[in-house]
């Protein structure tokens, strides 16, 4: 009896079927677009671009994380279609949260590493870039994945109903610690990387505008690339993070009607965050001229290949940006080839 009461209190069922029916179709569309896109990108990375030889191991890991997250979307769409915020099945619920936490965290972690690498290449020219050394080693990528695994532990522990108990079930001290840890991980994996990305981007753009000499169009393009990363991150992840904070506030304030609305907004913005799986290849991979050429020559028709490749080389995206270090040395900066 107690189990059923807890489940009702923590309501897996939705309060507005129409909203979640729309969300289910949006998620299904994201899956339909994201699966072939990420599969095609993975194919190019492995069989045509040979990422391990082109210093693109971090990019490859971002795509792997996005692909694994896209693979979870059909289950999400299915439960939304049935009027459920989460799967009532314990194993399915845990598996979905594990995949979301792990792959979102991995995608963000490798993105931060790429941004730090660009930061050292632009702002601290001539100095030792430890990230450049790390990104050449596949073992470092494995270490990052393994480091992220413990962060999913609070989600996997059996201390909450419907995978969503914070502020509801407070039977023991350990349950409160576990639920709090899960929320801390959720907010930290978004806010801390955002601060790092903003810092790196501001310094990079400032350096490009003041210290770099060369083709102004290339400098502007480089600034757009690094700025687009922050914009993408902000659009995909910050809204759901803010909505999560509002949801917790309404729950702790014991305002059930407001909580229902907050839950709908939060789930809707979480669906928005899945767009990251579609935009990552466009923002990161296709800004790499070598990858873009490999993709175009593999999947585009011949008549379109000529036009795209002509545009590619005429725009100069395959060239490097020249900049001068504080020691007076002129170095080439392949900003768009990161």
pLDDT digits (tens, 9 = 90+) for 53-84: 777 888 889 999 999 999 999 999 999 998 88
Q: How many domains does the chain have?
A: 1
Give percent of the chain with pLDDT exceeding 90.
Answer: 22
- Domain holding 274: CATH number? 1.20.1070.10
Instruction: Express each pLDDT in 174-231 by its tens digit.
Output: 667 777 888 888 899 999 999 999 999 998 888 888 765 556 667 777 778 788 889 8
Q: Is 18 exposed, middle or buried (0-12, 13-18, 19+ CB in 10 A)?
A: exposed
Instruction: Express each pLDDT in 277-290 by its tens digit.
Output: 888 877 766 667 77
Highest mean pLDDT among 32-41, 139-148, 169-178, 321-330: 32-41
User: How many whole angstroms separate alpha carbon 315 and alpha carbon 337?
Assistant: 14
- Backbone phi, then psi, for 16, in 5-degree steps? -140, 100
Find out whether 333 and 320 touch, Cβ atoms under 8 Å. Answer: yes
Question: Rounded to the nearest 5 degrees, what angle is found at the Cα of 285, between the Cα atoms of 280 and 291?
Answer: 160
- The confidence score (pLDDT) of residue 330 equals 43
**Minimal CA–CA distance to 6: which of 174, 159, 169, 157?**
169
The residue range of the domain holding 167 is 2-337
User: How many whole angstroms separate alpha carbon 111 and alpha carbon 114?
Assistant: 5
User: How many whole angstroms separate alpha carbon 129 and alpha carbon 236?
Assistant: 29
- Backbone phi, then psi, for 82, in 5-degree steps? -90, 10
User: How many whole angstroms separate alpha carbon 136 and alpha carbon 52?
Assistant: 8
Q: Dihedral, CA atoms, 83, 34, 96, 169, nearest 10 degrees? A: -60
- The confidence score (pLDDT) of residue 272 equals 92
- pTM value > 0.85: no
Is the pLDDT reported for residue 19 higher than 80? yes
Q: What burial letters (b/e) apply to 125-144, b meaning 16+ CB within 10 Å? A: beeebebeebbeeeebbeeb
- The confidence score (pLDDT) of residue 333 equals 44
The set of residues, in sequence order, having a beta carbon less than 8 Å from that of 256 and lying 6+ positions away, is: none
Token pair in block for residue 77 = 């769409």
| Element housing 322 (H / E) | strand 321-324
Instruction: Express each pLDDT in 230-261 by its tens digit.
Output: 988 999 999 999 999 998 888 887 777 888 88
Highest mean pLDDT among 5-9, 114-118, 124-128, 238-242: 238-242
Q: How confident is the model at residue 124 (pLDDT cuts 50, 70, 90)?
A: confident
Dihedral sign for Cα 75, 80, 85, 90, please: negative
Report which of residues 163 and 118 the model is more confident about: 118
Q: Summarize the confidence of residues 151-167 as an average pLDDT.
A: 62
User: How many whole angstroms separate alpha carbon 314 and alpha carbon 54?
Assistant: 23
Is the pLDDT reported for residue 12 higher than 90? no
- The confidence score (pLDDT) of residue 136 equals 66
Q: Summarize the confidence of residues 3-24 as an average pLDDT.
A: 68
**Minimal CA–CA distance to 281: which of 35, 38, 82, 48?**
38
Instruction: Count Cβ atoms below 10 Å from residue 232 Cβ, excluding itself.
Output: 19
Q: How confident is the model at residue 14 (pLDDT cuts 50, 70, 90)?
A: confident
C-alpha distances in Å from residue 99, one per residue of 22, 102, 103, 195, 312: 23, 5, 6, 24, 37
Length of the chain: 338
Rounded to a whole number of angstroms, the distance between the first and last alpha carbons of the chain is: 57
Report which of residues 122 and 69 the model is more confident about: 69
- The confidence score (pLDDT) of residue 123 equals 79
Token pair in block for residue 118 = 């660009």
Highest mean pLDDT among 40-44, 290-294, 295-299: 40-44
């Amino acid at each position: 009896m107690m189990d059923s009461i807890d489940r009702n209190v923590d309501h897996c069922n939705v309060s507005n079927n129409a909203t979640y029916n729309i969300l289910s179709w949006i998620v299904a569309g994201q899956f339909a677009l994201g699966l072939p896109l990420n599969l095609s990108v993975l194919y190019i990375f492995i069989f045509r671009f040979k990422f391990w030889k082109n210093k693109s191991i971090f990019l490859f890991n971002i795509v792997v994380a996005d692909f694994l997250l896209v693979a979870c979307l059909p289950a999400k769409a299915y439960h939304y279609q049935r009027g459920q915020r989460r799967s009532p099945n314990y194993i399915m619920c845990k598996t979905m949260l594990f995949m979301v936490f792990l792959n979102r965290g991995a995608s963000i972690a490798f993105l931060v590493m790429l941004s730090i690498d660009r930061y050292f290449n632009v702002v601290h020219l001539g100095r030792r870039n430890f990230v450049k050394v790390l990104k050449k080693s596949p073992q470092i990528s494995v270490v990052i994945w393994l480091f992220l695994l413990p962060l999913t532990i609070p989600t996997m522990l059996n201390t909450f109903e419907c995978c969503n108990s914070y502020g509801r079930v407070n039977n023991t001290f350990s349950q409160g610690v576990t639920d709090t840890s899960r929320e801390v991980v959720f907010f930290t994996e978004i806010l801390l990387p955002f601060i790092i990305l903003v810092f790196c981007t501001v310094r990079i753009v400032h350096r490009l505008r003041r210290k770099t000499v060369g083709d102004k169009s290339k400098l502007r393009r480089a600034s757009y690339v690094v700025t687009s990363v922050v914009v993408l991150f902000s659009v995909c992840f910050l809204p759901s993070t803010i909505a999560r904070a509002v949801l917790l506030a309404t729950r702790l304030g014991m305002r059930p009607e407001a909580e229902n609305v907050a839950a709908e907004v939060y789930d809707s913005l979480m669906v928005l965050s899945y767009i990251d799986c579609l935009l990552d290849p466009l923002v990161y991979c296709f800004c790499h001229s070598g990858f873009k050429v490999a993709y175009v020559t593999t999947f585009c028709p011949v008549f379109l290949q000529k036009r795209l490749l002509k545009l590619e080389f005429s725009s100069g995206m395959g060239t490097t940006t020249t900049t001068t270090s504080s020691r007076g040395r002129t170095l080439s900066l392949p900003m768009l080839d990161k």
